[in-house]
Amino acid sequence: MTTEEKKWFLSLPKEMKLALMDDMLKEDQTGMAFETMNILLEAPISEGGISSDEIKEIFDKDLERRENNK
């Protein structure tokens, strides 16, 4: 992802970024979800980053969903 693409992504509303990451996990795009997570964790919250606790909620929800689908 280029610097401009990262800036654009970080400018999106927090709810949209979290929803996109959740959708990636639902579609088994785990690698892409981890890339997204890294971008969000590396960026300061004031610049569009998201706290690790909020990201963990998305991954925990995915793990629960996968457990229930076994």
Residues 37-66 pLDDT 10s: 999 999 999 999 999 999 999 999 999 998
Query: For residue 70, is pLDDT > 80?
Result: no
- The predicted pLDDT at position 54 comes to 95
Contacts of 33 (CB under 8 A, 6+ apart): 21, 24, 25, 59
Average pLDDT rounded to a whole number, residues 10-32 = 95
Query: For residue 26, is pLDDT > 90?
Result: yes
Percent of the chain with pLDDT over 90: 90
- The predicted pLDDT at position 69 comes to 84
C-alpha dist (Å) from residue 45 to 9, 11, 51, 61: 13, 11, 7, 22
Measure the CA–CA gap between 6 and 67, rounded to whole angstroms: 32
